[in-house]
Amino acid sequence: MIRIGEAFQGRDNRFTPIRVVLASLVILEHVFVVAMGTGSQSLVSLQGWSLGYLAVNGFFILSGFLIAGSLERRRNLFRFVVARALRLWPALIVLALAAALIIGPVATGLSSAAYWQSAQTWLFIPNIVFFADTSGGPAGVFTGNPAPGEFSASLWTLRYEVLAYAAAALLFFTRVLWRPLTISLLWIGMSVLAAYLALRHPEVPAVFIEGSRLAAAFLLGAAAYTMRDRISLTLIPLAVVLPMAWLLGEHPAAPVVWNLVLATLILWAGLAWRDQVPTGSGLPDWSYGLYIWHYPLFQLIWHWGWATSPLQLAMIGVPISTAVAALSWHFVEKPALRLSGRLFRSGAG
C-alpha cells in the first residue's frame, strides 16, 4: 500500500473528472427542484440524504485537500489570494451580468420599465459577485415556475467556500496552528458542533448549521492532506465507516460518517492505479461552469415551456448546461488561469 502523499504528485490525478461527477449529482437533484418546486421531497437520495447534499460535502472535502496543497506549494499569501480570485470571480462576474442584463429581462413578469427601475435587479449583481444573498434573483424572474423567483440554488455555497479559503490561509500563515494534530482536532470539533446543532438546535440560523457542516467537510480534506504521508491509499476504511453511515440513516450525526466515506472514495478514486488506469487529468474542468450555470438555465427552459417534466428538463437542460459550461471554461475561466500563471512568472507578488 502506498501513502496518499506518494500518489499525489503533480497534476496527474482524477480530481477534475471527480469534480464533474459531483457537479452532475447536484444537477440531478436540481432537475427535480426546478420541475417540482423547492419544497418537494428529494427523489434521489441515499439513506435519507440527498445525493446533492452529499455531493456538496464531497466538493468541500476535495477543496480542503487541494487548498491545503495549494497553500503549502505557494507559501505566499498574495499569490494564493490572486489564484483563488481568478478562479472564482471571472465566471461569477459573467454570470452576475448575464443574470441582470440578459436572463432577467426575458424571464421577468414585470414590465420593462419596472424591471430596470427595481433596486432588486441591480442589487443582485453585487449579491452574486460578493457572495451575499443569492436566494432570490433579479426583480420578478421566474414567477410562474415551480421554484418561483429563484435564479440559482447553487451559489449560496460559494460564500462558505471563500470563508474556508480565508480560514485555511489564516491557519497556514500563523504557522503554529498548521499542524496535522491541530487540523484534525478542528475537524473533530467542527463535526461534533455540526451534529449537535442539527440534532439539538435545528432552529438556529442556517448560516450556523450549513457553516459548521461545510467547515467540517473542508477541514477533513485539509487534515487528510496534512497527514498524507501517514495515511495509506486504500478502501479498507469503508468496511467500518460505510456500515456505520448506513445504520445511522437520517440521524443528524450521519453526515459526519458520510464525510469519511466520501473522503475515502474521493481520494482513492482520484489517486489509485494512476499507472494502470488513465486519470483524465488533461480534460477541461467544466465543473465550476456546470455548477453555477445549470440552475438558471433549467429555470429559463421551464419558463419558456420547453420542458414539462423532470425527464424532459434533464434531456434538454443538461446538454445546454454542458455547452455553456464549456464556453465558460474556454473563454472565461481558462484565460483567467493563464493570466494568473503569467502574473506569477513575471515575478508579481
Query: In whole numbers, what is the pLDDT of the chain averaged over residues?
Result: 94
pLDDT tens digits for range 209-263: 999 999 999 999 999 999 999 999 999 999 999 999 999 999 999 999 999 999 9
Contact 221, 187 (CB under 8 A): no
Q: What is the DSSP string of 270-297?
A: HHTTTTTS---TTS---HHHHHHHHHHH
- Tell me the C-alpha distance between 166 and 176, whole Å: 16
Q: Which three cell numbers stand for residue 284?
A: 477541461
**pLDDT tens per residue across all 349 residues of the chain:** 799 999 998 889 999 999 999 999 999 999 999 999 987 667 778 888 999 999 999 999 999 999 999 999 989 999 999 999 999 999 999 999 999 999 999 999 999 999 999 999 999 999 999 999 999 999 999 999 999 999 999 999 999 999 999 999 999 998 888 999 999 999 999 999 999 999 999 999 999 999 999 999 999 999 999 999 999 999 999 999 999 999 999 999 999 999 999 999 999 999 999 888 889 888 999 999 999 999 999 999 999 999 999 999 999 999 999 999 999 999 999 999 998 777 766 544 3
CA distance 154 to 53: 11
Query: Please, which residues have CB within 8 angstroms of residue 309's CB and are 6 or more apart in sequence?
Result: 35
What is the Cα 98 distance to its own chain's centre? 21
Q: How far apart are CA 265 and CA 184, in angstroms?
A: 19
* CA–CA distance, 71 with 14 (Å, rounded to integer): 20
Q: What is the pLDDT of residue 345?
A: 67
Amino acid at 62: L
Residue 136's SS3 state is coil
Q: Tell me which DSSP letter residue 77 carries.
A: H
pLDDT of residue 280: 87
Return the C-alpha cell found at 131. Answer: 457572495
pLDDT at residue 347 in the model:
47
Look up residue 50 and give its DSSP letter: E
Q: Residue 17: in which H helix or E strand, if any?
A: helix 15-36
Amino acid at 79: R
pLDDT at residue 41, as a whole number: 66
Where does residue 138 fall: left (phi above 0), alpha (psi -120 to 50 degrees), or beta otherwise?
beta
Residue 348 is predicted with a pLDDT of 42
Q: How far is CA 294 from CA 28, 41, 134, 169, 244, in A?
A: 10, 20, 15, 30, 34
Note the pLDDT of residue 1: 78
* pLDDT at 346 (0 to 100): 52
The set of residues, in sequence order, having a beta carbon less than 8 Å from that of 202 and lying 6+ positions away, is 209
- The number of beta carbons lying within 10 Å of the beta carbon of residue 251 is 16
298-333 per-position pLDDT tens digit: 999 999 999 999 999 999 999 999 999 999 999 999
| Triad 144, 33, 320: Cα angle to 5° | 85
